[in-house]
């Protein structure tokens, strides 16, 4: 019950599938109680906000997560939110940074393919 990674993993997996989003958010918020500065949990919160149709809130969380830890998975999520908001230039910049860190990341590759974005 105090293992924050389990709360985050379950919440993120629900958000990724787009199911039980209010429950996913609550699980992620529970994880944040244990690790409020963890950029991966903040990323999950941003992702669930995006899936719930709150792109401005999602962007706020994802930008904070990416600033704390410029990880390719976070870059994929932040880029998608930026892209959805019409800020394609910023999305491309973030994705390129992520690609430099890990050019073979499947999440980034899938995101680019799904959105038809070419780096």
Q: What is the rounded CA–CA span in Å between residue 35 and residue 22?
A: 20
For residues 33-56, give the mean pLDDT.
98
Predicted pLDDT of residue 95 = 98
Q: What's the pLDDT tens digit per position in 93-112?
A: 999 999 999 999 999 999 99
Find tokens 């109680």 and name the residue: 33
- pLDDT at 2 exceeding the cut of 90: no
Q: What is the rounded CA–CA span in Å between residue 35 and residue 26?
A: 14
Q: What is the rounded CA–CA span in Å between residue 111 and residue 23?
A: 24
Q: What's the pLDDT tens digit per position in 53-108?
A: 999 999 999 999 999 999 999 999 999 999 999 999 999 999 999 999 999 999 99
* Joined tokens for residue 27: 């699980």
Find tokens 């992620």 and name the residue: 28
* DSSP letter, residue 119: -
């Amino acid at each position: 019950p105090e293992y924050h990674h389990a709360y985050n993993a379950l919440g993120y997996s629900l958000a990724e599938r787009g199911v039980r989003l209010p429950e996913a958010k609550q699980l992620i918020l529970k994880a944040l109680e244990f690790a409020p500065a963890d950029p991966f949990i903040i990323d999950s919160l941003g992702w669930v906000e995006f899936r719930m149709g709150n792109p401005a809130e999602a962007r706020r969380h994802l930008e904070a997560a990416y600033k704390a830890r410029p990880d390719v998975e976070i870059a994929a999520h932040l880029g998608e939110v930026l892209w959805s908001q019409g800020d394609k230039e910023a999305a491309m910049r973030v994705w390129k940074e992520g690609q430099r860190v890990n050019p073979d990341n499947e999440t980034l590759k899938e995101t680019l393919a799904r959105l038809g974005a070419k780096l």
